[in-house]
Structure 1
Amino acid sequence: MPLPSAEPGPSLASRYHDIRATSEALCAPLAAEDHVPQPVAHVSPPKWHLAHTTWFFEAFVLSRLAPEQAPWHPLYGYLFNSYYETVGQRVLRHQRGTLSRPTVDEILAYRHHIDECMMGWLARELDEPVCTLIELGLQHEQQHQELLLTDIKAILGGNPLQPPYAHGTVASWDLAREHGGTPAFTTPSTPGGWLDIDGGLYEVGHKGQGFAFDNEGSRHVQHLRPFQIQQGLVSNRDYLAFMADQGYQRHELWHAEGWDWLQTEGIAAPLYWSRDDKAPSGWAHYTLRGAQPVSPDAPVSHLSYYEAHAFAQWAGCRLPTEFEWEAAQSQLTWGQRWEWTASAYQPYPGFQKAPGAVGEYNGKFMVNQMVLRGSSFATPPGHARATYRNFFHPPLRWQYTGVRLARD
């Protein structure tokens, strides 16, 4: 399916400049040493993000506009290709943290060179397919900005020193929002906080002229049975009640695979949580501002799909499907956490991968993953939309993942 067209001209040049500058601003609080570690395979070093997003424009846009132009470095394609088999071989994902070179300064020089080339082309009149490809690159970079924040948190939060990333505002992110907000969660035994959604036929998927990734289409009809969904997210207070009721010890609440994961990994609390007798809740957690007491009223975060499902079972509820979520989204408070759904990541009717390397963007991952809806604290402003389909493997929880309950 072809991607929606992007608006050509100065607005695209302005967006390019601002989005590229934002990625560097997110890394500005880091020391050079912070740019290199890779604590686990699904976390990439910050300097790899800076280089990979630059390589995307060099490999997919500039190679089309100026095919005679030699690459900045002949091996950067090998170092910073992520998963595009069409493009060629690459450093394996779990080995990205072994690259002490190129240095951060060398990668920044690479970025600035490619940006000069791109801004020169953006000053001209470009055809619609090229503008569409540039817009895809910008949306791709915004995805990596979200990953940057969550990967930085994983790198610093896994350090025994647990150093703060920064205080206040970094780029467009107000760090006070990371664990702020008051959820509208109420216990399943009380009537408040639930929305009644009628059964029937609902259109889901992207429509209109704005940008969307190919996995958001095509728009189609889903039949839904009547259901209820909570307006707000599950809070830390409610998750603490689950933990106090031996939620991590009760096998009947868990999928078999999730129970095996618990036993193998020794999981007993959300990611980044640790016991703290001085905290009112008895728990502290690592945040981008350093270690903080767990706020009972904030939405719970950094849960795996396994944990989200087990909590829903304990609460006598279930997770919504992605189609239920989309049907109700106009009445929900969302945007604080990516929300696990009960839906496997599968293609919509009529989905077709784009030709060439960009066709590897979403379709090749439609197996063994679960869909998340909404957005999170780490999502760049303006990047979220109701039809956005995020997806992760069930054990992963380093993203800002939360829970919203549903019931029949």
Structure 2
Amino acid sequence: MSTMAAAVPDLAPEPPPGSLAERFRRVRAHSAHLAAPLSAEDAMVQSMPDASPAKWHLAHTTWFFERFILAARPGYRPFDPDWDYLFNSYYQSVGPFHARPNRGMLSRPSLAQVREYRAEVEMRLLQRLDAGDLDGEALQRLELGLHHEQQHQELLLTDIKHALWCNPLQPAYRADLVGSEQAAAPPLRWLARDECIATIGAPAWPAADAFAYDNESPPHRVLVPAHALASRPVSNAEFRGFIDDGGYREPGLWLSDGWARLQAGSWQRPLYWHEDLERAFTLGGVRALDPQAPVAHLSYYEADAYARWAGARLPTEAEWELAAAPLPVAGHFAGDDRFEPRAAGPVGDAATPVQLFGDVWEWTSSAYTAYPGFRAWRGSLGEYNGKFMCGQWVLRGGSCATPRDHVRASYRNFFPPDARWQFAGLRLARDA
């Protein structure tokens, strides 16, 4: 393997090796835990081009560590040279790769071999880490690799959910995922904010100590007009009102591309909802729909149409970040081991928005593009985010499938507007 060009712009102080090794072990073990309920057959299924098999997620995240850390040293001998082609995702600068829509064709290597690959790369990397044999840049790539693997942990869950839903038997990913008691959604209130000039975005990492992706920087000032933000996300019951009122049959509520996509896909309700509108497919199997929980698995088009129907709009990402920045990252995340959104329950401060973090990613009205002064990371990892800044929309806040320590107020997720298989919902906004 060839060496890799520098992946990050400037060196930051090296993190303590012990703490980084502990985090590496924890994140890697969690991926294995998420994959444990899956058979080899489950782990190979690719139900649509936008999703990937669980086996591929396990291998690709391992490839990332091997390719961008271990293989950066001249003379490194890869675990299997052919796998560099199989498990590269989209890094054109490091070589060709297997076509994304065909990842489900990879019956070989086996799931057992992928697990051996994971164990071997983990051993090699920890040996170098424990020996103090990784320089500052390699340690930064390790930090990035941990956040990258956490992204794929969420994708593993959302992708296997779609795959199992496509099975006529609609089997559960885990039958022990019993829903907790249902909580009541707090009353929806409108929280007004005067016009202001706000600073959004995160300082560029690794020059700054706190990790942030390159697409979150630099901090910059924006004019935020006077507006009001809904105090909580839209619930299943509220979205059912849109359905019952004919929202999926009224073209005047929809963007032109959204209406065309609705017709082509025969959309009549959120993804995974049963036609009786009383049940939904979950990672625990088919369950009664919780009317108070935030609605999930909406495309941008559906979220936008609902907002129009409600006489409102989607918030901009500046409005969202302005509301979220002062708040702790608290909510229902993957660590709750539920993997379904739930209502917030009683709240103490009616003037503070709830559930900005966790439960569902919230679509914004902001196109995914570069901030003023954006600089992609140098080298191959400059392909991580910047090359996707076209035809995508920003989501904020994390979901019930997101690791809690993976999100922050400045985090910018992005998907194309017709994406429905993620835990994506909405929060309303309106002009003052």
- TM-score (ref. length: structure 1): 0.92
The answer to whether 1:316 aligns with 2:324 is no
Q: Which amino acid aligns with 2:234?
A: V
Q: Determine if contact 2:161/2:282 at 8 Å carries over to the other structure.
A: yes
The answer to whether 1:393 aligns with 2:416 is yes
Structure 1 residue 350 displacement after superposition: 1.0
Map of 2:153 onto structure 1: 145
Secondary structure of the residue aligned to 2:143 is helix
Q: Determine if contact 2:229/2:429 at 8 Å carries over to the other structure.
A: yes
Map of 1:252 onto structure 2: 252
Aligned match for 2:50, one of 38, 42, 59: 42
Map of 1:119 onto structure 2: 126
Secondary structure of the residue aligned to 1:274 is coil
Map of 2:393 onto structure 1: 370
Map of 1:6-45 to 2, 5 A cutoff?
7-45=15-53
Secondary structure of the residue aligned to 2:248 is coil
Secondary structure of the residue aligned to 2:396 is strand
Aligned match for 2:97, one of 90, 97, 102: 90
Structure 1 residue 353 displacement after superposition: 1.3
Q: Which amino acid aligns with 2:23?
A: R
Q: Determine if contact 2:214/2:374 at 8 Å carries over to the other structure.
A: yes
**In 2 relative to 1, CA 111–268 (structure 1 residues): closer, same or farther, beyond 3 Å?**
same
**In 2 relative to 1, CA 198–152 (structure 1 residues): closer, same or farther, beyond 3 Å?**
same
Q: Determine if contact 2:359/2:400 at 8 Å carries over to the other structure.
A: yes
Map of 1:289 onto structure 2: 284
Map of 1:189 onto structure 2: none
Moved more, 328-337 or 379-388: 328-337
Cα distance in 1 between the residues matched to 2:410 and 2:241 = 32
The answer to whether 1:163 aligns with 2:161 is no
Aligned match for 1:348, one of 361, 371, 380: 371
Aligned match for 2:198, one of 193, 198, 202: 202
Map of 1:125-136 to 2, 5 A cutoff?
125=132, 126-136=134-144
Cα distance in 1 between the residues matched to 2:374 and 2:382 = 11
Secondary structure of the residue aligned to 1:382 is helix
Deviations 1:147-200 (A, max 9, x none): 01111111111111111111446xxxxx747x96544453xxxxxx11111211
Q: Which runs of 5+ in 1 are unaligned?
A: 170-174, 187-192, 277-281
**In 2 relative to 1, CA 228–298 (structure 1 residues): closer, same or farther, beyond 3 Å?**
same
Deviations 1:212-236 (A, max 9, x none): 0000000011111110001101000
Structure 1 residue 209 displacement after superposition: 2.3
Cα distance in 2 between the residues matched to 1:72 and 1:181 = 49
Deviations 1:350-396 (A, max 9, x none): 11112211000000000000000100000012111110000000000
Moved more, 396-405 or 201-210: 201-210
Q: Determine if contact 1:340/1:373 at 8 Å carries over to the other structure.
A: yes
The answer to whether 1:338 aligns with 2:346 is no
Moved more, 349-358 or 320-329: 349-358
Map of 2:335 onto structure 1: none
**In 2 relative to 1, CA 253–107 (structure 1 residues): closer, same or farther, beyond 3 Å?**
same
Cα distance in 2 between the residues matched to 1:68 and 1:370 = 42
Structure 1 residue 237 displacement after superposition: 0.4
Cα distance in 2 between the residues matched to 1:158 and 1:146 = 19
Q: Which amino acid aligns with 2:105?
A: T
Cα distance in 2 between the residues matched to 1:185 and 1:321 = 23
Q: Which amino acid aligns with 2:130?
A: A
Aligned residues: 390
Cα distance in 1 between the residues matched to 2:418 and 2:410 = 24
Secondary structure of the residue aligned to 1:221 is strand
Q: Determine if contact 1:371/1:390 at 8 Å carries over to the other structure.
A: yes
Structure 1 residue 328 displacement after superposition: 1.0
Map of 1:269 onto structure 2: 269
Q: Determine if contact 1:4/1:211 at 8 Å carries over to the other structure.
A: no
Map of 1:190 onto structure 2: none
Structure 1 residue 275 displacement after superposition: 2.3
Q: Which amino acid aligns with 1:347?
A: A
